[in-house]
Amino acid sequence: MTIFRQAKWNEPIVYEISRDSKEGVLLDEEFRDYALRFLSKLPKHIIRDSLNIPSLSEVEVVRHFTRLSQMSYGVDLGPVPLGSCTMKYNPKICEELASDRRIVEAHPYLDEEDVQGLLEILYTLQKWLAEIVGMDVCSLQTPAGAAGELAGALMIKKYHRDLGEGHRDEMIVPDSAHGSNPASAAMAGFKVVRIPTDPRGNTDIEALRAALSKRTAGVMLTNPNTLGLFEEYIVDIAREVHGIGGLLYYDGANLNGILGYARPGDMGFDVAHLNLHKTFAAPHGGGGPGAGAICAKGALADYLPVPLVEYDGRKYYFKYDVPRTIGRISWFYGNIIPAIKSFLYIATLGPLVKEVAEVANLNTNYMLKKLSALPGVDLVYGYGRWRKHEFVISFEKLYKETGVGAEDVAKALLDRGFHAPTILFPLIVPEAHMIEVTETESRENIDNLINAYKEIINIAYTNPSEIKRCPQNTSVKRLDTVYGNLPKNIALTYRSLKGKTA
């Protein structure tokens, strides 16, 4: 199996190999004269006589940056099976087109008539996304999923207040939810009510019924949920939530699992966010900023954040007069570049977009079948059910039998050239690995990952300390879970100071 050997952390830094005698560029006379003439025109007080940058030869500069790139891991190097993050490969055609100077250099204060092309793209994207999720209107103002959640929670709050129902101060969130759901609800001023998950992996409908009351403002769900399981009672849930006057919020982080097959709007959701950087392939996490969209149905559409992009039959324009808008949720018009990548991704795939979910589901269930048969691995929820785009396995049994837990297995995967999956989440699964291989990984890559798991589990049963020492092949070794890469003495001082103030 390929092992990606990463650069070692103890390489000398560029300042250590810097020497005054080294020079990376030779300026020709003409350019030197030009630079000196230019400098002589500048006010003296803004000119420095020394600059603390290292003096290096060209080859040292190239090696420095190449080494830095090797210390990182991204989807251009190998699979990133981070469950709930949908880290799919980002087509280079989208990158290239979205990097057009006319896009990246467009200033947010340009007049609308000078950016008609850009506005047309954003307008079309709003329409496509609304169609994809089965909602009436979408706003691209939100720069991430969590920002969409906050926007949605604020919209729900304002909606109830306008109806004279300001007493609705509870938001119901299942215990399988991503942490940003309860956090966003709390930031919007709601009391968060937690609902358990039933053994099949659904939101426990009896517990939900018991929690619904006159104080319920809404329920936040993702479907498929973070266990990769489709909510079997979603239509009943929607009916009951609406029956008591509440609203249903859709966390779109898992849309990849049902893309083109099922629409949150048809399931009964009133407002939905999309993580454009996940489902529609723009790099995120370490790879770049995200973009969200927040979409709504019916009366709730009047509460969307502004501006929306509209078309009056002659020109595209920013629309600010949305009757009951919650206002802005971020700067200017949202994160336009990832939004444009999403537009290009959807435009490129067209009706093939359905295959995204098909292949993601196929890859997931293939891998789940292989991994769940391994010793030390358990499922906890939803035995016998098909998953959508992701699945969660538990290493609790392995931990009890060998002392090797989910974190150790993850570190051993790094040594074998893979990015680790999401670990220890969702919180309801002990020693969890949440795995999402996405549709962009080939059978060979998935088999390699399965084989890596097999090998790690075998070693865990025969020589557990070898796994507990991982990673050995990465640029940094095992980091302190809380203090990361802080030098030990600083971490210890910090810890002892915290101890004193606690």
Give the interface with ligand PLP as residue ranges (CB under 6 A): 84-85, 144-146, 178, 180, 222, 226, 251, 253-254, 275, 290
Q: Which tokens belong to 48?
A: 């420095």
Q: Which tokens belong to 313?
A: 């039959």
The single-letter code of the amino acid at 429 is V
> Residue 461 Cβ, how far from ligand PLP at the closest point, in Å?
32
Q: Which of 212, 221 has the CB closer to ligand PLP?
A: 221
Contact (Cβ atoms closer than 8 angstroms) between residue 390 and residue 435? yes
> Residue 149 Cβ, how far from ligand PLP at the closest point, in Å?
7
Going by their DSSP bridges, the two strands 191-195 and 170-174 should be labelled as parallel
Q: Which of 304, 322 has the CB closer to ligand PLP?
A: 304
Residue 420 dihedral angles phi and psi, to the nearest 5°: -70, 155
CA angle, residues 344, 348, 350, in degrees to nearest 5: 115
Q: Quick one: how far is CA 352 from the chain centroid? A: 23
- The label of the residue with tokens 């709601």 reads 190
> Residue 57 Cβ, how far from ligand PLP at the closest point, in Å?
42
> Residue 252 Cβ, how far from ligand PLP at the closest point, in Å?
8
The H-assigned helical ranges of 14-113 are 29-40, 58-70, 92-98, 101-104
Considering only CA atoms, which of 446, 422, 418 is closest in space to residue 434? 422
Q: Which of 84, 325 has the CB closer to ligand PLP?
A: 84
Contact (Cβ atoms closer than 8 angstroms) between residue 228 and residue 257? yes
Which residue has its beta carbon closest to ligand PLP?
Answer: 145
Contact (Cβ atoms closer than 8 angstroms) between residue 473 and residue 5? yes
Q: Which of 6, 86 has the CB closer to ligand PLP?
A: 86
In SS3 terms, 413-452 reads as HHHCCCCCCEECCCCCCCCEEEECCCCCCCHHHHHHHHHH
What separation, in Å, do the N-terminal and C-terminal C-alpha atoms of the chain show? Answer: 48
> Residue 85 Cβ, how far from ligand PLP at the closest point, in Å?
5
Q: Which of 285, 464 has the CB closer to ligand PLP?
A: 285
Q: Report the distance separating Cα 228 and Cα 380, nearest Å.
A: 13
> Residue 462 Cβ, how far from ligand PLP at the closest point, in Å?
35
Q: Which of 223, 394 has the CB closer to ligand PLP?
A: 223
Q: Which of 222, 440 has the CB closer to ligand PLP?
A: 222
Going by their DSSP bridges, the two strands 271-275 and 247-252 should be labelled as parallel
> Residue 113 Cβ, how far from ligand PLP at the closest point, in Å?
33
Residue 50 dihedral angles phi and psi, to the nearest 5°: -145, 155
> Residue 418 Cβ, how far from ligand PLP at the closest point, in Å?
19
Q: Which of 148, 471 has the CB closer to ligand PLP?
A: 148
> Residue 473 Cβ, how far from ligand PLP at the closest point, in Å?
27
Q: Which of 144, 423 has the CB closer to ligand PLP?
A: 144
Q: Which of 85, 153 has the CB closer to ligand PLP?
A: 85
Q: 389: buried, middle or exposed (CB in 10 Å: 19+, 13-18, 0-12)?
A: buried
Residue 121 CB coordination number (10 Å) = 21
Q: Which of 281, 412 has the CB closer to ligand PLP?
A: 281
Q: Report the distance separating Cα 376 and Cα 463, nearest Å.
A: 15
Q: In angstroms, what is the C-alpha Rg of the chain?
A: 26
> Residue 275 Cβ, how far from ligand PLP at the closest point, in Å?
4
- The label of the residue with tokens 């691995």 reads 377
> Residue 501 Cβ, how far from ligand PLP at the closest point, in Å?
31
